[in-house]
Amino acid sequence: MSKIALVVDDSTSMRQMVSFTLQSVGFDTIEGANGCEALEVAGDKPLDLVITDLNMPEMDGITLIRELRAKPTYKFTPILLLTTESQDTKKQEGKAAGATGWMVKPFNTDQLLTVVRKVVK
């Protein structure tokens, strides 16, 4: 059974890129353009990985992580935060909200997969 990843980014190109990369290593992906959409598509489906952008309209990545972690289904799900802001405050905020880790944009697909392999078996 293939694993399912939720990819959240308000940039369509970014979302497609991440999804495509994950699909190339056998993930099924579902997508959301912001936190609200992400929560909607996730429903309460079990997920193997969540990759979310930080800055998004309607609901940002940090809030999304908090909302996901509040649900029992996603208590243990690895969540990666994508950010171009390398400031520590945002990373720490992400951590505190329950992010498993983060990736700093820009990254290439190899880097993405390396990080994904760290958190998903």
Partner 1 sequence: MQIDLSRFRAAFFVEAEEHLQQMETELLQLETTPKDSELLNSIFRAAHSIKGGSATFGADVISKFTHILENLLDRLRNEEFDATPELVELLLSSVDVIDGLIRNARDNEPLPAQFEAIYEELIKVNSKGSEVSAQPTAVQATNQPGTKTRFQIRFVPSTNCFEFGTDPLLVVREVKSLGTITKFVVDSSRLPSLPDLDPEHCYLSWLIELESECGKQAVEDVGMFLDGESKFEVTELEQAPQQVEVPTPEIDEPTPAKSKAESPKSQPVAQGKVAESETVRVDRNRLDVLINQIGELVIGTSMVEQDVMSLTDSMPPESLSALGKIVRDLQEMSLGLRMVPIASAFQKMQRVLRDLSKKLNKQIDFITEGDDTELDKSVVDQISDPLIHMVRNSIDHGIERPEDRIAAGKSPVGKINLRAYQQGGNIYIQLSDDGRGLDRDRIRQKAIERGLVQPEDALSDSEICNLIFRPGFSTAEKITDVSGRGVGMDVVRKNVEALQGSVTVTSEFGKGSTVTVRLPLTLAILDGLLVRLTNEVYVIPLLSVVESIAVDSSAIKEVVRVGEVIQLRGEVVPVLRLHHLLHIDEQSDVNQQILLVIVEDQGRRFALRVDELLGQQQVVIKNLETHFRKVAGVAGATILGDGRVALILDLLGLSSISTHEATLPQSVTN
How many residues contact partner 1, by CB under 8 A?
50
What's the closest the beta carbon of residue 80 comes to partner 1, in angstroms? Answer: 8
**Hey, which residues does 102 pair with through a beta bridge?**
81
**Beta sheet of 28-32, edge-to-edge order:** 28-32, 4-8, 49-53, 79-83, 101-104
What string marks each residue from 72 to 111 as x (binds partner 1 by CB under 8 A) or -? -x-xxxxx----x-x-----x--xx-xxxxx-xxxxxxx-
What's the closest the beta carbon of residue 117 comes to partner 1, in angstroms? Answer: 8
Q: Please state whether the peptide bond connecting residue 106 to the residue before it is cis, i.e. omega within 30 degrees of 0.
A: yes
The string of DSSP letters for 49-75 reads: EEEEESS-SSS-HHHHHHHHHTSGGGS
| Structure tokens, 112 | 């993405």
What's the closest the beta carbon of residue 65 comes to partner 1, in angstroms? Answer: 10
- Per rule CB under 8 A, is residue 71 in the interface with partner 1? no
Binding residues for partner 1, rule: CB under 8 A, are 1-4, 10-14, 16-17, 20-21, 24, 28, 30, 40, 45-48, 55, 73, 75-79, 84, 86, 92, 95-96, 98-102, 104-110, 113, 115, 118-119, 121
